[in-house]
Amino acid sequence: MSRSLAAITARLPKGWGDLGRQVVVLVGVDLAYTFVRGIADGERTIAIVHGQQVIDFERSTHTFFEPGLQAFFLPAQGLIDLANQIYLNAQFSIALGFLVWLYLFRNESYYFVRNMFVVSMGLALVGYSVFPTAPPRMFPQYGFVDTLTKYAEVGHDSTVAKIFINPYAAVPSMHCAFAMMIGGSGVMVCRNWWAKAWWAFWPLLVSWVTIVTANHYWIDAALGWMVALAAAAVAYRLALARPHAWSFRGAPAPREAEA
């Protein structure tokens, strides 16, 4: 037991104390997100109105292509199943897995990326509380199909769905924001060309997934990418204030506790 603990400790870049602080930060942000999501859950009426406004805007600009895109892929059962699985896992399993890998193996870049995630979640909370929006799947009259319910047999009121899905958080798409932050970071920290190519493709894949599963409009994806860029800009400003602690590829940090 002691040998196993020692082996794990040896792999931690900055010890158990720093690891504990990172867990507290991420869990705290997630709890805040969940709290605001609970508030948004009671805004169905206004969320439907906002969703219709998004549809009306896209129709007025002749960019309301989502029903046609989804209809094109619906006959391909295998692709729809893949899209459902990516949608359910991209926001938690893949994002969390990437952060864990980054912390352990590219620790000099982890704190910048962590700050991006924290800032982006804060921006999302503002969007969700000010502009709760019903996703496309709640508008079957326009031809949208709820693929998670129909094909994956995951009801949006189920325990699984409530963990991974905010029912009225279409604007912005945090699936797309997370994918952009992970994808951009992956391109910069990975060394193999195939890994760089995969992470460069990841934001596009997730954007396709959110649309083809009728969980987001294209404008949600665009706004999600904008949130990611804004979060990166804020993280950059934070890095200027504490370059040793928060820069993306800063100098080796001193042996001091990191926030």
- Give a yes or no: residue 21 inside a domain: yes
According to the model, what pLDDT value does residue 41 have?
55
Average confidence score pLDDT of the chain = 84
Q: What is the CA radius of gyration of the chain?
A: 20
Instruction: Give residue 254's pLDDT.
Output: 44
Average pLDDT rounded to a whole number, residues 109-136: 90
Q: What is the pTM of this model?
A: 0.85
Q: What is the pLDDT of residues 163-206, one digit of tens each?
A: 445 566 778 898 999 999 999 999 999 989 999 999 999 999 99
Residue 214 has pLDDT above 90, yes or no: yes
CB-CB contact of 201 with 207 (8 Å): no
Residue 176: what pLDDT?
Answer: 94
231 class by beta-carbon count within 10 Å (0-12 exposed, 13-18 middle, 19+ buried): buried
| Phi and psi angles of residue 169, each rounded to the nearest 5 degrees, phi first | -120, 55
Q: What is the model's pLDDT at position 166?
A: 59
Is 7 part of a structural domain of the chain?
Answer: no
Report the pLDDT value the prediction gives residue 250, as an integer from 0 to 100: 41
**Any domain includes 251:** no
How many Å is the maximal CA-CA distance in the chain? 66
pLDDT of 220 > 80? The answer is yes
In a domain, 149, yes or no: yes
- State the total domains in the chain: 1
6: in domain? no
| Nearby residues of 26 by Cβ (< 8 Å), 6 or more positions away | 99, 114, 117
In a domain, 178, yes or no: yes
Given a cut of 90, whether residue 225 has pLDDT beyond it is yes
Residue at 231 is within a domain: yes
Question: Could you tell me if residue 5 is inside a domain?
Answer: no
The separation between CA 140 and the C-alpha centre of its own chain, rounded to angstroms, equals 25
Its domain, for residue 174, covers 14-246
